[in-house]
């Protein structure tokens, strides 16, 4: 693959921009500065440096982000900044199969924190987000009022939500403290956790997603930081 096409696929700009980066000596492979935009490379596993930053070629992008509070999962945010501003430019511009750049898989409210997956692989996005696949998501919740056993039982048996034809149930539910609980859902309805807690007479004060399928949010990934998914992570997610 020509280096200008390789850079384009990874999100470094239009082909003309990528050719210019090479011609200006801003791209290096194996310590050698390139000047010919048409030079060919085997892209698999290729590591290169663009304007002093090291990158590795990836045919598709799969990553996790520790979403902090105060960010919207939208390309066109309203009152809050977009989570996409937490990612480097090339990830936001990649030429993927779903759309330009990586896309958040599902959304977390601006005040919700925790594990967010992003990708430019349309099939993977569908697999993770489609209600048909019932991918479990685990949330840690702090509530405004004291929890009791009747509330947990109601969440497990099913609660009625406005504009939902059938009761909505938690896949799992456990109390962690007087006003703290863990809730597992396999659906992705609008404001689902908050609406379910309201339906049993309580209120969400803090909401944090800790797991999607078999993938846990790593304890060493700080809020606002991202990392690539490892092959083992993808195997675990695709095995759901």
Catalytic residues: 109
3-state secondary structure of 52: coil
Average pLDDT in the chain: 93
CATH of the domain at 172: 3.30.70.1560
pLDDT at position 77 is: 87
pLDDT at position 199 is: 96
Asked if residue 217 belongs to a domain, the reply is no
Contact 63, 234 (CB under 8 A): no
User: How many percent of the chain have pLDDT more than 70?
Assistant: 98
- Tally of structural domains, the chain: 3
pLDDT at position 99 is: 57
Residue 70 has pLDDT above 90, yes or no: yes
CA 158, distance to chain mean position in Å, is 28
What confidence tens digit (pLDDT) does each residue in 97-119 have?
445 789 999 889 999 999 999 99
In sequence order, the 6+-apart residues with CB closer than 8 A to the CB of 67 are 73, 83, 108, 112, 113, 114, 115, 116, 223
3-state secondary structure of 199: helix
Q: Are residues 125 and 228 in the same domain?
A: yes
pLDDT at position 187 is: 86
The parent domain of residue 10 ranges over: 3-56
Higher local confidence (pLDDT), 47 or 235: 47
Structural domain ending residue among the three candidates 27, 56, 85 = 56
User: Tokens 């096409």 correspond to what residue?
Assistant: 5
Which range among 46-50, 105-109, 188-192, 215-219 shows the weakest confidence by mean pLDDT? Answer: 188-192
Q: What is the mean pLDDT of residues 113-142?
A: 93
Predicted TM-score (pTM) above 0.85: yes
User: How many percent of the chain have pLDDT more than 90?
Assistant: 84
pLDDT at position 96 is: 53
Q: What is the mean pLDDT of residues 8-26?
A: 96
pLDDT at position 80 is: 95
Q: Are residues 47 and 162 in the same domain?
A: no
205: left (phi over 0), alpha (psi -120 to 50) or beta: alpha
CATH of the domain at 77: 3.30.70.580
The model's confidence at residue 95, banded by pLDDT at 50, 70 and 90, is confident
Q: Which two tokens stand for residue 82?
A: 């977009």
pLDDT at position 132 is: 82
CATH of the domain at 17: 3.10.290.10
Asked if residue 191 belongs to a domain, the reply is yes
The candidate with the shortest Cα–Cα distance to 64, out of 213, 217, 214, is 217
Q: Are residues 197 and 140 in the same domain?
A: yes
Q: Are residues 19 and 80 in the same domain?
A: no
Query: Distance (Å, rounded) from C-alpha 224 to C-alpha 177?
Result: 27
């Amino acid at each position: 693959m020509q280096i200008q096409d390789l850079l384009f696929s990874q999100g470094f700009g239009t082909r003309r921009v990528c050719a210019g980066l090479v011609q200006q000596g801003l791209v290096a492979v194996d310590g050698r500065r390139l000047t010919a935009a048409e030079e060919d490379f085997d892209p698999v596993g290729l590591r290169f440096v663009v304007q002093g930053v090291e990158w590795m070629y990836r045919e598709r992008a799969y990553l996790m982000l520790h979403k902090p509070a105060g960010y919207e999962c939208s390309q066109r945010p309203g009152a809050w900044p977009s989570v996409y501003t937490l990612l480097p430019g090339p990830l936001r511009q990649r030429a993927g199969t779903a759309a330009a750049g990586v896309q958040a898989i599902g959304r977390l409210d601006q005040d919700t924190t925790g594990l967010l997956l992003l990708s430019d692989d349309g099939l993977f996005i569908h697999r993770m987000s489609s209600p048909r696949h019932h991918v479990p998501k685990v949330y840690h919740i702090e509530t405004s009022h004291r929890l009791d056993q009747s509330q947990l039982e109601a969440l497990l048996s099913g609660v009625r939500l406005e504009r939902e034809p059938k009761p909505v149930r938690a896949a799992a539910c456990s109390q962690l403290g007087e006003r703290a609980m863990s809730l597992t859902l396999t659906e992705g309805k609008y404001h689902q956790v908050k609406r379910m807690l309201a339906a049993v007479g309580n209120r969400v004060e803090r909401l944090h997603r800790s797991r999607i399928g078999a993938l846990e949010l790593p304890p060493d990934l700080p809020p606002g930081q991202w990392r690539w998914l490892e092959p083992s992570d993808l195997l675990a997610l695709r095995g759901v």
